[in-house]
Amino acid sequence: MTPRGRLLVAAGLAAVTVLAFLPSLGNGFVNYDDPLYVTKNFQVQQGLTLDGVRWAFTAIHGSNWHPLTWLSHMLDVSLFGMDPMGPHLVNVLLHALNAALLFLVLARATGLPWPSLAAAALFAVHPLRVESVSWIAERKDVLCLTFGFSALWMYLRYTESRRWAWYAGAIAAFALGLLVKPMIVTLPAVMLLMDAWPLGRIPSESFARSAAKRVTEKIPFLALVAASGAITVIAQRQGGLKDMEAFPMAARLANAAIACVAYLGKTIWPVDLAVHYPHPGAAVSYGLATIAFVLLAAITIACTLLRRQRPYLLFGWAWYLVALLPVIGIIQVGNQSMADRYTYLPHAGLFVAVVWGMRDLVRHRGVAVTLTMAALAVCATVTVQQQRHWKDSLALYTRLLDVQPDSLLAHANLSEIYLTSGDDRLAVHHIDEALRLNPRDTAARINQGILLGRRNDLDSAIALFQAVLLDAPNSEGAHFNLGMALFMKGDYAAAAPPLAYTAKRQPADADVHLMLGVCYGNTGRLPEARAEFETVLRLRPGDPGAKANLARIEP
């Protein structure tokens, strides 16, 4: 196939990928991480500004340092405002570009365009892609891999031409990808795997010397990996890495083995997909983990033994395992045991092994094409259906409950959704279920306190919010609702600190600034009150409450 032909095929694949993900364009924001990244992020909501750029490169927010992720969300706001269709469209287009890039990388590396197309197409429309593409907060997944696959393509050009411009381009693209998400820290290992097969740059007759040379060639990439790893650990220590203490190493290793096999299962049979798979912790099945370890070892040994006759098996399997390492849970961040989005990069290698293996097993071209088309049709159908579960928060957590009836996350979030909509009966049901599963769950207890406040039992609500803050001193929801309850009770002096805490973290919330100004005004702190009312008028020009209060305290 000519270079132009490959580009046309890549464009066709991108178009098919866009069609498969069109349902996402009708989805909205969800209340799972989208508030952190967009809907309640003051810096992002200002759009792309000089101050926003400074913040993106200097702030550690949400236990992450990923400046290009923030800049991409800011650009969305500048282009589309707060219309969710805009960021959904960008995610879909980036994913389509990734599918095209993967095809171009595989076709160039192997010289076999049609198997490359099959592998890239399976990667593109597999249902496990939905979480990365249909979740606005996972922009970092699709954007990160755009840079990652670009780096692989430029690396291939370097190996062909030995031109240092391509090598520098690969380093630059890799660095940009790390500024989006450190998930691609394993990319130098993928390059090394490609050196062995299909590029043949590590011949078996001089394996040690050639391998050492290729590793040396990756030193600039490895230096970037070290820097990214150090920054990631520093950032995660502000939040996520505390989860390591909750799960002993033995449990983490056992869960890692089970997850590796579970991803294989969901690749073959993608049903019961969910936004959250809770970590079993010490209750993990070590018997199941042993079986998983044996199965993984058996596959690895088989691929190693077949490396001379079928080198693509070891290549694809090693890509899969290596790419999973940063997210397999040995270093635990969060309380999930696995996540669909974690397969985004690993699946690319796995599908190489699957497609090339089928190519060898099924010699009849017509049969191979039929099987491939059938697999793609099934995947695309399930992918279209799966996107409906991301329509909004209610659909997302209702689906999660269908898959996991005892999901603490689903019950806690559904209680918030029903509280917001005014359906106290269903809110109480889900609060009770969440507290049954975990009597100290922060979100459920906050929602319980909100219900008490609605029933004018302010003293009980205040006591509950204070108890929550003893367990979770950084809970913004507990601070805000404690301040609100104290404000409603008329205890302005006590309400000011929790409201000030909220205002600092939600600087665009005019209502918080207004209440804080009233608190300051009623406790004699007139300069601070004036500053708060002026902030309200900046955020909400002409606000009658702010104007009236400001006039009241003006000399």
Asked if 14 and 100 touch (Cβ cutoff 8 Å), the reply is yes
Q: Which domains does the chain have, with CATH numbers?
A: 3-247+353-388 (no CATH), 248-352 (no CATH), 406-489 (1.25.40.10), 492-555 (1.25.40.10)
- The reported pTM is 0.94
Strands (E), 188-315: 277-278
Alpha-carbon gap, residue 201 to 207, rounded angstroms? 9
Q: How many CB atoms lie within 10 A of CB 464?
A: 23
- Which letter does DSSP use for residue 470 in this model? H
All residue ranges of the chain with pLDDT < 70 are: 238-246, 555
CB 452 within 8 A of CB 461: yes
Cβ neighbours of residue 37 under 8 Å, at least 6 residues apart?
44, 62, 69, 73, 136, 137, 139
> Is 549 within 8 Å of 521 (Cβ atoms)?
yes
3-state helix, strand, coil in the chain (%, to 5): 80, 0, 20
The token duo for 100 is 């095209």
Q: What is the reported pLDDT for 240?
A: 46
Phi, psi angles (nearest 5°) of residue 64: -140, 150
pLDDT at 555: 64
**Contact status, residue 508 vs residue 539, Cβ threshold 8 Å:** yes
Sign of CA dihedral 385, 389, 390, 391: positive
Cβ burial of 209 (10 Å; 0-12, 13-18, 19+) is: exposed
- CA dihedral 226→230→233→235, nearest 10 degrees, is -130
What's the gap between Cα 280 and its chain centre?
21
Q: How far apart are CA 17 and CA 19, in angstroms?
A: 5
SS3 track for 23-87:
HHHHCCCCCCCHHHHHHCCHHHHCCCCHHHHHHHHHCCECCECCHHHHHHHHHHHHHHCCCCHHH
